């Protein structure tokens, strides 16, 4: 159910594009619509990528041969205040201009604005309101401060040479208008065995992790408010991380620390034909058909530091950790582990 709740939230954001009246007016800015919406949507897309790189480990110690674990993690990436707004840089736009002297506009994670925009082409123009952020309407599942939640289920298996292979997999599933699938793979290798002086410290373990996650989402509205054909939105996320993990195991509890990099790329495309009626006294076109109006790209990269604690209750493990990165995140969950 957690997964489906997240999918519903994602569907909420994706459905925002083809049915919102302001989006229809922004499309009148042609290619500038993509630039504007890239700034507007980036906090949600970035938060998802940061989250997908969380939850890969709860210890620096790998399994014995054929040992395994089943881990369920809930991760929340918090959107920093500086990403709740963006600067409208006139040099980025060919058709779109911002009215007034205040060039700060909200992102989807921000609040309301009274700013207006003007789209101009061939000497004719149309005026409309800038997009508001969700503000207090931000889905309650996102908690406070404004954040992006992502639940995750994965399995791990111990291989020879003190190496674990980890797998995340959600088969393609359909929920109402939303189709979603996810696959991720990680490799964690014990480094302690390669350093004799570390092997003399039985409570300490050191390992390295490389992990990759891919997720695909397709949203096809059944009752679009905009006329057209084959309307759908496609989102694809690739997230990957490289980390060095240290662990101190005190039997009942162990503490772990991870240092590494986090990277990700996301594409979000609005495809199909959209027939817009840009009515109004100052409109420069009516009943215009726009094909594949959005092809947006988002990316993250940076360093990350994770500090966590795990409580060992026999085969059941309870854990929580905090990751310091551009979008700080908190993760917690439980695991069933057989070493």
Q: Are 180 and 8 in contact (CB under 8 A)?
A: no
Spans of all domains in the chain: 2-338
263: left (phi > 0), else alpha (psi -120 to 50), else beta?
Answer: beta
**DSSP E strands, 89-177:** 96-98, 104-106, 116-121, 124-129, 147-159, 163-175
Long-range pairs for 113-120 at CB < 8 Å and ≥24 separation?
Answer: 117/26, 117/29, 119/25, 119/26, 119/28, 119/29, 119/30, 119/32, 119/95, 120/95, 120/284
Give me the phi and psi of 33, to 5 degrees please.
Answer: -60, -40
Question: Omega before 145 cis (within 30°)?
Answer: yes
pLDDT tens, N- to C-terminus, the chain (339 residues) = 333 334 434 444 444 443 344 566 677 777 888 899 899 989 888 988 998 999 999 999 999 999 999 999 888 888 888 999 999 999 999 989 999 888 999 998 888 899 999 888 777 778 888 988 876 665 544 433 445 556 678 999 999 999 999 999 877 777 777 788 889 999 999 999 998 888 788 899 999 999 999 988 888 877 776 778 888 889 899 999 999 999 999 989 999 999 999 999 999 888 888 776 655 444 445 567 788 888 899 999 999 999 999 999 999 999 999 999 999 999 999 999 887
Q: Are 220 and 177 in contact (CB under 8 A)?
A: yes
pTM of the model as a whole: 0.85
In the numeric block, which tokens belong to residue 173? Answer: 């599933």
């Amino acid at each position: 159910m957690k997964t489906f709740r997240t999918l519903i939230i994602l569907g909420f954001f994706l459905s925002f594009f083809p049915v919102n009246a302001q989006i229809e007016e922004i499309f009148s800015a042609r290619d500038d619509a993509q630039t504007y919406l890239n700034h507007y949507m980036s906090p949600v897309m970035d938060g998802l990528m940061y989250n997908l790189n969380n939850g890969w480990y709860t210890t620096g110690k790998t399994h014995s041969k054929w040992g395994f674990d089943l881990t369920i993690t809930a991760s929340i990436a918090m959107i920093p205040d500086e990403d709740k707004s963006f600067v409208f840089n006139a040099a980025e736009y060919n058709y779109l201009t911002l009215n007034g002297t205040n060039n700060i506009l909200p992102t989807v994670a921000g609040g309301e604005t009274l700013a207006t925009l003007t789209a101009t082409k061939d000497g004719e123009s149309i005026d409309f309101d800038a997009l508001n952020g969700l503000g207090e309407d931000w889905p309650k599942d996102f908690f406070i401060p404004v954040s992006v939640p992502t639940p995750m289920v994965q399995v791990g298996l111990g291989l020879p040479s003190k190496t674990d292979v980890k797998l995340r997999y959600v088969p393609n599933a359909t929920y109402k208008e939303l189709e979603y699938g996810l696959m991720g793979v990680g490799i964690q290798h014990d480094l302690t065995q390669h350093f004799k002086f570390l092997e003399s410290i039985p409570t300490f373990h050191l390992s390295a992790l490389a992990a990759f996650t891919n997720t695909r989402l397709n949203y096809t509205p059944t009752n679009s408010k905009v006329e057209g054909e084959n309307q759908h939105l496609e989102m694809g996320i690739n997230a990957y991380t490289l980390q060095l993990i240290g662990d101190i195991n005190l039997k009942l509890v162990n503490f772990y620390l991870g240092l590494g990099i986090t990277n990700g790329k996301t594409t979000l495309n609005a495809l199909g034909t959209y027939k817009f009626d840009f009515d109004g006294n100052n409109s420069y076109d009516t009943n215009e058909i726009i094909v594949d109006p959005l092809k947006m790209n988002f990316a993250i990269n940076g360093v990350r530091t994770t500090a966590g604690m795990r409580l060992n209750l026999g085969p059941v493990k309870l854990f929580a950790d905090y990751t310091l990165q551009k979008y700080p995140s908190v993760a917690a969950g439980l695991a069933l582990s057989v070493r």
